[in-house]
Amino acid sequence: MRVDVISIFPDYLAPLELSLIGKARRDGRIDLRVHDLRDFARDRHRTVDDTPYGGGAGMVMKPQPWSEALQHVAGSGADGARPRLVVPGPGGMPFTQAMARELAQEPWLAFACGRYEGIDERVYEYAADDLGLEVSVVSLGDYVLNGGEVAVLAMVEAVARLLPGVIGNAESLVEESHEDGLLEYPVYTKPAAWESAPGRTREVPPVLLSGDHHAIAAWRHQQRLDRTARRRPDLLHGSQAGARLGDFDVAVATAADAPEILTLSRACWVTEAQANESLVIPPLVETIEDTVAGIGQWTTWTVRGAGRLVGSVRGRVAPDDPTLWQIGRLMVAPDLQGRGLGRALLAHAEAAAPPGTAAYWLNTGVRSDRNLRIYRKAGYRVRAGEGSFPGTVDLTKPRR
């Protein structure tokens, strides 16, 4: 990834030479170029600001230095490439982990660090209309900084650490705070019992020393829910507060659930592969990255009993039809099938359909007789013709 930063304080970006981001630069994973805005000022004093029209306190950054600086950066790409321009500012869209992931997909980012009362508004218009740049004004939070450099430091680190190879163990990214709408669980290391003061010993929660990975996973997930409820209740989806299906707990899946969901998918779809005489079935061939992406694109529910993942289903509004609620990846652990859990999960997914839904949609293998019986009994009917994937059929049911 290439990153250009324009600032009147280029030395402010020196910390990006440190730690993992600095190593990524030295390894060639990030091409960071810092430009001094004053180099594009035309007067002897290298002036970049002036008083605001209409009066008021403070100074405004002039359009001329910015236009030339942006033109210089935008024109330096190969084969007519253009960067995405990010301008930090308190009046912008909130910078979130989801936005960091979005920006990490860009091959080239340019950051414009404003100062004083901000940049002349015409610069944004010039960048979009004359230079053809996608311009995003982004806020680090509901407060005001002296300039954009601090925000750029934070944004570049948040984005760069998501690039392949920057973080040594990519799995460490999965369960971090905000990756999936929840805060991270508490973490501990040696010693197991720490004497923080004479006569005062603080111990690691016993479950983490048990070696029971199912119990540990359940404890961590509950800790994430509890911590999010205490510190950031605004992030907590209502259905994450603890729904029930009989003896089982139902929750909205997070990226941390992806490994277990992938494992359960493989166990559940083997019989589908046998029935349809094909191993080329998405749940059997997708990767952990595909599963994480699916959790981001669908609302996925997990069903757990005693900490064990025993079922899952997902739903979403159809991309090409806002009145159609798509239900997919309905699965129950093989040893629990035939007890009504699948039908309960299907009803749970149907109940989550938003207002305006006119019909439900399902897809299954053309020879998946057991599934077809269950779906027909639930009111679904097979659509004519081949389904959305080769060797499948689509089923729909009107919402009543």
Is position 325 within any domain? yes
Residues 134 and 8 in one domain: yes
Is position 60 within any domain? yes
State yes or no: pLDDT of 143 exceeds 90: no
pLDDT score at 16: 85
Q: What are the CA-CA distances from residue 17 to residues 3, 20, 27, 311, 343 (Å)? A: 13, 9, 12, 46, 55
Residues 153 and 286 in one domain: no
Is position 193 within any domain? no
pLDDT score at 163: 87
Output the six-digit token pair for 239: 């259905």
- Name the residue range of residue 254's domain: 238-398
In terms of pLDDT, which residue wins out, 30 or 243?
A: 30
CATH of the domain at 7: 3.40.1280.10
State yes or no: pLDDT of 259 exceeds 90: yes
Residue 215's SS3 state is helix
Residues 30 and 160 in one domain: yes
pTM above 0.75, yes or no: no
Tell me if 375 sits within 8 A of 349, measured CB to CB.
no
Is position 192 within any domain? no
Contacts of 206 (CB under 8 A, 6+ apart): none
Residues 231 and 242 in one domain: no
Tally of CB atoms within 10 A around 234: 6
pLDDT tens-digit map of 204-222: 999 999 998 888 887 887 7
Is position 195 within any domain? no
CATH of the domain at 226: 1.10.1270.20
State yes or no: pLDDT of 172 exceeds 60: no
Residues 339 and 359 in one domain: yes
Q: What phi and psi values does residue 397 have, to the nearest 5 degrees?
A: -145, 125
Residues 290 and 215 in one domain: no
Confidence band, pLDDT 50/70/90 cuts, at residue 175: very low
Is position 197 within any domain? no
Is position 43 within any domain? yes
- E runs forming strands in the chain: 2-7, 31-36, 49-50, 60-61, 84-94, 108-112, 134-139, 193-197, 200-203, 243-245, 248-252, 299-305, 308-318, 321-332, 359-365, 381-382, 392-398
Residues 54 and 166 in one domain: yes
In terms of pLDDT, which residue wins out, 167 or 68?
A: 68
- What mean pLDDT comes out for the span 307-335? 93
pLDDT score at 50: 93
Residue 69's SS3 state is helix
Confidence band, pLDDT 50/70/90 cuts, at residue 317: very high
Residues 25 and 115 in one domain: yes
State yes or no: pLDDT of 177 exceeds 70: no
Q: Point out the least confidently predicted range of 231-235, 301-305, 316-320, 355-359.
A: 231-235
**What is d(CA 62, CA 318) in angstroms, rounded to the nearest whole number?**
47
Tally of CB atoms within 10 A around 194: 13
Q: Point out the least confidently predicted range of 102-106, 129-133, 163-167, 227-231.
A: 227-231
Residues 164 and 209 in one domain: no
The percent of residues above 70 in pLDDT, for the chain, comes to 92
In terms of pLDDT, which residue wins out, 174 or 29?
A: 29
Is position 389 within any domain? yes
Number of separate domains in the chain? 3
Residues 157 and 304 in one domain: no
In terms of pLDDT, which residue wins out, 193 or 165?
A: 193
Residues 254 and 214 in one domain: no
pLDDT tens-digit map of 102-137: 999 999 999 999 999 899 999 999 999 999 999 999
CATH of the domain at 340: 3.40.630.30
- What mean pLDDT comes out for the span 393-400? 92
Q: Point out the least confidently predicted range of 14-28, 255-269, 298-312.
A: 14-28
pLDDT score at 356: 85
Residues 34 and 152 in one domain: yes
- What mean pLDDT comes out for the span 185-205? 92
pLDDT score at 142: 85
Choose among 365, 303, 382, 381: nearest CA to 337. Answer: 303
pLDDT tens-digit map of 322-378: 899 999 999 999 999 888 899 889 988 998 888 889 999 999 998 888 899 999 999
